[in-house]
Structure 1
């Protein structure tokens, strides 16, 4: 079942959108968005808190706390139900279209009566949007592309949603008597950015009790198919989960087979055929005699085929077999290689935890260093001032080394303006230990303008990292259009790192860009972009994306010792080297 916190987060986010659609009260909508982030980042179980305790969570005032308490008492929130009733469901569906937020959806509904995705497409094709302020030909093009993305998403879910569900299921099945091993496989094990269905694998001598327990899980809304070898359910959130049970002796072959990808497995089976062998989920067999050769571990299966074990994130038939045969598989970066996190936020801007809370959580993760990078003033909604930032710097300096000896770096996340400029003059920027620069607006610039914008930011001697480079939000906002090869050349030339942003709806830069940028010698930072204590753990998704991009630890600047990192951050000599 979803965590109570996740359920409340979804309701508060929905209500924020509904407020925008019904009243246009941007301030109130932002309050509910902030509260949604706060409850998502709260480490305990909200359902165990009373109204007074809920009000202790940053961003949760009396009104919101009362609504949360109402949800746990009634199973719903009256004002949310009332707001839903005032808006046709089709209008709410419009907000799911990438590039179309609730404000524009409200304009389309109130001014043109558009209340469904199909009606929007018809209106674009008949050019009815062009009389609306802010809806020109370029907007129409972006909306049609967004509709296409929405229609082709096919009910796929983000990596974090699939991971939480998989861990819940495997945790329950692993506790059953007779279960020798249990894990998830498929595209989730390969860290694909979205997941269409879950594959769960169990090793047990008797599949019957395992299948029965799986069918009876309280998260199952429907049993699609059931048998001794495979059972499929659909969860209450609509995601299909396939369970396969194999004998313990077949574990390695089954894990290799069901991890995929299909293209990778075809190439592996071709090697088996050429060697007079047959590979299936039950093992590697001699074709002539039918004798089982190996099956217990993946390593044995690959070794018998003349290959080293290939890490799952590489199994996409993108050159991994050729690299394996040459002995050139990368030693992939791991979560435990990270010595620190270089992009995080506090409640000084849009985070929901205090500086001290974030530092304590970072130290508990064993980090040697940690950067606080709250937003700069050009993101006006965050109301940053020079005085606030300087006061935070003073506090950071005072707290340095006080959390288990962890070094604390004072940084900021700058905004890359439409012309490539950033917040604050050079003399103010020089006081930061670290500057991340990111695009937060003007997402629809031309390819040439966007490329110049990013290159100029990389050339800024005070910008160390380009954050979430393409600005995409998976399923909601497409990436900006740029000549990324030119951007990568600029990053390599200036010594500017690219961020692998670990938020599951970003994973930006994506794996294809990582592989391309590596060819230019670009360095990377795998960052959580945490806005709460709980967000710090998201860094594992960034690591998975980095692995899909074939990154090694030495190519990631926050795996380096602090001395080496500081040398990379030096100004201006590091840029001139």
Structure 2
């Protein structure tokens, strides 16, 4: 996604929040929210569009288009600035708390004069919120939990935001004269779900040109440290970048060292010591003579430790060393292995692009098959009906095989009710090629009730995949509480796959849950849950998460040939 689109999306969403805080027109606030999503999901860079071009984007009217062009012309929007000025900064800080909406934030400020997160926490502990209209003990618990989520996230950012920045920097430094190799390392290379800072490694004989290039980038807001071996900057978005330059002969050792994790590196250094060797970022050396033994490639370093090359996504000291010694490292699933996406949306419900555009974009990715899974009717705001979904099915059948012979599957994302039931009756569900079922509401059921809810959904003979199973939103909403061991066992027994949702703010299931479910023999689907053509590219983050969970091609149903996938989707039904 083009970064200007993201900037506008954030600005329009903020304006929608500001309208809500000031108790402005709710319809106007929703219009700005809709426009924010539409621009964020637009496939081309909106900074190159004029008012007329912006108005061609669904949901973007004349007033919004003019604000967008004003932003790119001046770097600000006067209406947003004026609205900001009427709201205390503390209130704007409060609305960043997950679970606390704009209206409640303004109530807290007006009735209790609360204008900071610390003041809010103190008021909750003093039980001052309970007498306010719309608040109560449960609300207090939710707000405290939201504060805890914020504190847990700290300064860490989502994987896709870090990846965009890292790839831009690597591209810039790679063009610098004298660069032999350049790559990002650290937790980003290991595809962790959030990133604290970005490590970039360069192999070159001279470091000065690269240190100067980094500090001179337009995105550099502050130089934290500047040296011959390491330079650190802070970007205009507040992200720290650490650049290290190593001699070309040390590239492999440097990449292995700076990729981490710390626990994995301790294990490899321990193995080296036992062999009379010393491992550092500059190479593998004989401990007595100091002679360099290996350093040019990671494969060479691992081989001299009697280990196979270990994929970065496994380097967390979770058994990868032992598996490598035994020759039992898994052949991890890759993005190239994915034959199709099984969870996507169109503008028939809450997607941003028409069916035809989504199909064309999927075909351009080289998929063998592709599923359209718009929301079912119990998610009432999507206004789905039987007639609408049947009309979509007819159009999908018309398009089937017309784009690079890609086969189309007609599916739906069902809603799992509190009792475990789903939207449509069994005979209607029979007409779909694939049915996902997801929890979209009632997140606070008891552990027993939530477990029963998920188990009943898995036991439905038409439910093929449980979508974003824990419902978490990273840094915003904790996952639901269930007996996941019981759920995993039922998934394995019923032939119900679990989704690895590739949306960067979900990555659900997470790597640890994937590892647990895999032990039960569960199968998985790596899906994008794409709501626009742009977000089909988020597949890479789902694959990275799946790799961290040690998944292979055989574990993932959408790496299978269509015939094998269709057999799985029948879920044992004989009709």
> Normalised by the shorter chain, which TM-score bucket?
over 0.9
Tell me the equivalent position of 1:544: 544
Checking the alignment, whether the CA contact within 8 Å between 1:59 and 1:352 is kept in structure 2 is: no
Checking the alignment, whether the CA contact within 8 Å between 1:34 and 1:352 is kept in structure 2 is: no
Shift of the 563–107 alpha-carbon distance from structure 1 to 2, 3 Å rule, reads farther
Deviations 1:91-139 (A, max 9, x none): 2222222222334434434544433211221221111222345533333
The total of aligned residue pairs comes to 575
In 2, the alpha carbon distance for the partners of 1:110 and 1:448 equals: 40
Tell me the equivalent position of 1:456: 456
Deviations 1:478-520 (A, max 9, x none): 1111111111111111111000000110000000000000011
Tell me the equivalent position of 1:515: 515
Shift of the 25–501 alpha-carbon distance from structure 1 to 2, 3 Å rule, reads farther
Alignment of 1:397-408 (within 5 A): 397-408=397-408
Verify: 1:64 aligned to 2:64, yes or no.
yes
Verify: 1:409 aligned to 2:440, yes or no.
no
Q: What secondary structure is seen at the aligned counterpart in 1 of 2:59?
A: coil
Which has the higher mean CA deviation after the structures are superposed, 39-48 or 539-548?
39-48
Verify: 1:287 aligned to 2:284, yes or no.
no
In 1, the alpha carbon distance for the partners of 2:552 and 2:10 equals: 36
Tell me the equivalent position of 2:340: 340
Which has the higher mean CA deviation after the structures are superposed, 165-174 or 6-15?
6-15
Alignment of 1:233-312 (within 5 A): 233-312=233-312
Verify: 1:96 aligned to 2:78, yes or no.
no
Tell me the equivalent position of 2:555: 555
Q: What secondary structure is seen at the aligned counterpart in 1 of 2:180?
A: strand
Tell me the equivalent position of 1:196: 196
In 2, the alpha carbon distance for the partners of 1:29 and 1:443 equals: 26
Verify: 1:465 aligned to 2:469, yes or no.
no
- Note the C-alpha offset of 1:148: 1.8
Deviations 1:296-315 (A, max 9, x none): 00001001001111100110
Verify: 1:488 aligned to 2:488, yes or no.
yes
In 1, the alpha carbon distance for the partners of 2:135 and 2:467 equals: 29
Shift of the 571–328 alpha-carbon distance from structure 1 to 2, 3 Å rule, reads closer
Q: What secondary structure is seen at the aligned counterpart in 2 of 1:516?
A: helix
Tell me the equivalent position of 2:136: 136
Tell me the equivalent position of 1:18: 18
**Scaled by the length of structure 1, what TM-score is found?**
0.97
- Note the C-alpha offset of 1:142: 2.8
- Note the C-alpha offset of 1:62: 2.0
Tell me the equivalent position of 1:323: 323
Tell me the equivalent position of 1:358: 358
Checking the alignment, whether the CA contact within 8 Å between 1:557 and 1:565 is kept in structure 2 is: yes
Q: What secondary structure is seen at the aligned counterpart in 2 of 1:573?
A: coil
- Note the C-alpha offset of 1:196: 0.4
In 1, the alpha carbon distance for the partners of 2:170 and 2:71 equals: 29
In 2, the alpha carbon distance for the partners of 1:295 and 1:69 equals: 52
Verify: 1:49 aligned to 2:34, yes or no.
no
In 2, the alpha carbon distance for the partners of 1:574 and 1:101 equals: 49
Alignment of 1:202-217 (within 5 A): 202-217=202-217
In 1, the alpha carbon distance for the partners of 2:574 and 2:206 equals: 62
Unaligned runs of 5+ residues in structure 1 are none
In 2, the alpha carbon distance for the partners of 1:505 and 1:330 equals: 27
Checking the alignment, whether the CA contact within 8 Å between 1:20 and 1:106 is kept in structure 2 is: no
- Note the C-alpha offset of 1:11: 0.5
In 1, the alpha carbon distance for the partners of 2:288 and 2:358 equals: 62
In 2, the alpha carbon distance for the partners of 1:284 and 1:542 equals: 34
In 2, the alpha carbon distance for the partners of 1:515 and 1:333 equals: 14
Which has the higher mean CA deviation after the structures are superposed, 290-299 or 43-52?
43-52
Checking the alignment, whether the CA contact within 8 Å between 2:495 and 2:571 is kept in structure 1 is: no
Shift of the 571–190 alpha-carbon distance from structure 1 to 2, 3 Å rule, reads closer
In 1, the alpha carbon distance for the partners of 2:378 and 2:62 equals: 31
Tell me the equivalent position of 2:30: 30
In 2, the alpha carbon distance for the partners of 1:414 and 1:86 equals: 42
Deviations 1:45-87 (A, max 9, x none): 2111111111111221222212211212222122222222222
Shift of the 131–462 alpha-carbon distance from structure 1 to 2, 3 Å rule, reads farther
Tell me the equivalent position of 1:479: 479
Checking the alignment, whether the CA contact within 8 Å between 1:495 and 1:574 is kept in structure 2 is: no
Deviations 1:383-412 (A, max 9, x none): 111111111111111111111110011111
Tell me the equivalent position of 1:156: 156
- Note the C-alpha offset of 1:151: 2.0
Checking the alignment, whether the CA contact within 8 Å between 1:567 and 1:574 is kept in structure 2 is: no
Which has the higher mean CA deviation after the structures are superposed, 57-66 or 211-220?
57-66
Q: What secondary structure is seen at the aligned counterpart in 2 of 1:129?
A: coil
Deviations 1:280-311 (A, max 9, x none): 00000001111000000000100100111110
- Note the C-alpha offset of 1:351: 0.9
Shift of the 520–209 alpha-carbon distance from structure 1 to 2, 3 Å rule, reads same
Checking the alignment, whether the CA contact within 8 Å between 1:186 and 1:259 is kept in structure 2 is: yes
Verify: 1:425 aligned to 2:425, yes or no.
yes
Tell me the equivalent position of 2:230: 230
**Scaled by the length of structure 2, what TM-score is found?**
0.97
Q: What secondary structure is seen at the aligned counterpart in 2 of 1:370?
A: strand
In 1, the alpha carbon distance for the partners of 2:400 and 2:110 equals: 53
Checking the alignment, whether the CA contact within 8 Å between 2:494 and 2:571 is kept in structure 1 is: no
Q: What secondary structure is seen at the aligned counterpart in 1 of 2:130?
A: helix
Q: What secondary structure is seen at the aligned counterpart in 1 of 2:371?
A: strand
Q: What secondary structure is seen at the aligned counterpart in 1 of 2:43?
A: coil
Checking the alignment, whether the CA contact within 8 Å between 1:24 and 1:103 is kept in structure 2 is: no
Which has the higher mean CA deviation after the structures are superposed, 491-500 or 438-447?
438-447
Tell me the equivalent position of 2:566: 566
